[in-house]
Amino acid sequence: MELFVSLPFHGFVVTTAVLLLCFVPINVSAVASRRPPQLQLSQKLRFDQNGEFKILQVADMHFADGKTTPCLDVLPSQVHGCSDLNTSSFIQRMIQAEKPNLIVFTGDNIFGFDAKDSTKSLNAAFAPAIAAKIPWAAVLGNHDQEGTLSREGVMKHIVGLKHTVSQFNPSEAHIIDGFGNYNVEVGGAEVSGLANKSVLNIYFLDSGDYSTVPDIPGYGWIKPSQQFWFQSTSAKLQRAHMRPPMAQKSSAPGLVYFHIPLPEFASFDSSNYTGVRQEGISSASINSGFFTTMVEAGDVKAVFTGHDHLNDFCGQLTGIQLCYAGGFGYHAYGKAGWSRRARVVVASLEKTVKGDWGAVKSIKTWKRLDDRYLTAVDGQVLWSKNSADEVDR
Ligand SMILES: *[C@@H]1O[C@H](CO)[C@@H](O)[C@H](O)[C@H]1NC(C)=O
Ligand SMILES: *[C@@H]1O[C@H](CO)[C@@H](O)[C@H](O)[C@H]1NC(C)=O
Ligand SMILES: *[C@@H]1O[C@H](CO)[C@@H](O)[C@H](O)[C@H]1NC(C)=O
Of all ligands present, the nearest one to the C-alpha of 330 is 1
Q: What is the pLDDT of residues 262-303, one digit of tens each?
A: 999 999 999 999 999 999 999 999 999 999 999 999 999 999
Q: What is the pLDDT of residues 31-59, one digit of tens each?
A: 333 333 344 445 589 999 999 999 999 99
195 touches 208 (CB < 8 A): no
Range of the domain at 267: 2-390
Q: What is the pLDDT of residues 210-229, one digit of tens each?
A: 999 999 999 999 999 999 99
Of all ligands present, the nearest one to the C-alpha of 339 is 1
Of all ligands present, the nearest one to the C-alpha of 190 is 2
Evaluate: CB of 27 within 6 angstroms of ligand 3. Answer: no
- pLDDT of the residue at 69: 98
Nearest CA to ligand 2 atom 3: 196
Q: Measuring from each residue's beta carbon to the nearest atom of ligand 1, which residues come in under 6 Å? A: 74, 78, 81-82, 86
Query: Which stretches does DSSP call E strand in 239-340?
Result: 254-257, 273-274, 300-305, 314-317, 320-324
Mention every residue, 6+ apart, whose C-beta is less than 8 A from residue 89: none
Evaluate: CB of 268 within 6 angstroms of ligand 3. Answer: yes
Evaluate: CB of 272 within 6 angstroms of ligand 3. Answer: yes
Pick from 68, 82, 84 the residue to mutate for probing ligand 1's pocket: most ligand atoms within 8 Å of its CB. Answer: 82
Evaluate: CB of 271 within 6 angstroms of ligand 3. Answer: yes
Gap from CA of 79 to ligand 1 centroid (Å) = 9
Gap from CA of 195 to ligand 2 centroid (Å) = 7
Q: Which atom of ligand 3 is nearest to the CA of 315?
A: 13
Mention every residue, 6+ apart, whose C-beta is less than 8 A from residue 203: 182, 183, 230, 233, 234, 254, 255, 256, 257, 300
Q: Which atom of ligand 2 is nearest to the CA of 196?
A: 1
Nearest CA to ligand 1 atom 7: 81
pLDDT confidence bin for 393, thresholds 50/70/90: very low
208 touches 219 (CB < 8 A): yes
Average pLDDT over residues 109-129: 97
Of all ligands present, the nearest one to the C-alpha of 38 is 2
Gap from CA of 311 to ligand 3 centroid (Å) = 17
Domains: count for the chain: 1
Average pLDDT over residues 181-188: 97
Q: What is the pLDDT of residues 315-362, one digit of tens each?
A: 999 999 999 999 999 999 999 999 999 999 999 999 999 999 999 999
- pLDDT of the residue at 7: 33
226 touches 14 (CB < 8 A): no
Average pLDDT over residues 129-157: 98
Evaluate: CB of 269 within 6 angstroms of ligand 3. Answer: yes
- pLDDT of the residue at 303: 99
pLDDT confidence bin for 387, thresholds 50/70/90: low
Nearest CA to ligand 2 atom 7: 196
Average pLDDT over residues 85-92: 98
Average pLDDT over residues 136-158: 98
Q: Measuring from each residue's beta carbon to the nearest atom of ligand 2, which residues come in under 6 Å? A: 193, 195-196
Q: What is the dihedral of CA 356, 360, 362, 363, to 10 degrees?
A: 130
At 210, which CATH number? 3.60.21.10
Could you tell me which residues are beta bridge partners of residue 186?
Answer: 45, 200
- pLDDT of the residue at 174: 82
Gap from CA of 300 to ligand 3 centroid (Å) = 21
Pick from 41, 46, 47, 196 the residue to mutate for probing ligand 2's pocket: most ligand atoms within 8 Å of its CB. Answer: 196
**pLDDT greater than 60 at residue 30:** no
Q: What is the pLDDT of residues 296-305, one digit of tens each?
A: 999 999 999 9
**pLDDT greater than 70 at residue 185:** yes
Question: How far is Cα 180 from Cα 159, in angstroms, rounded to an integer?
Answer: 9
Confidence (pTM): 0.89
Evaluate: CB of 96 within 6 angstroms of ligand 3. Answer: no
94 touches 375 (CB < 8 A): no
Gap from CA of 323 to ligand 3 centroid (Å) = 16
**Phi, psi at 389, each rounded to 5°:** -65, -25
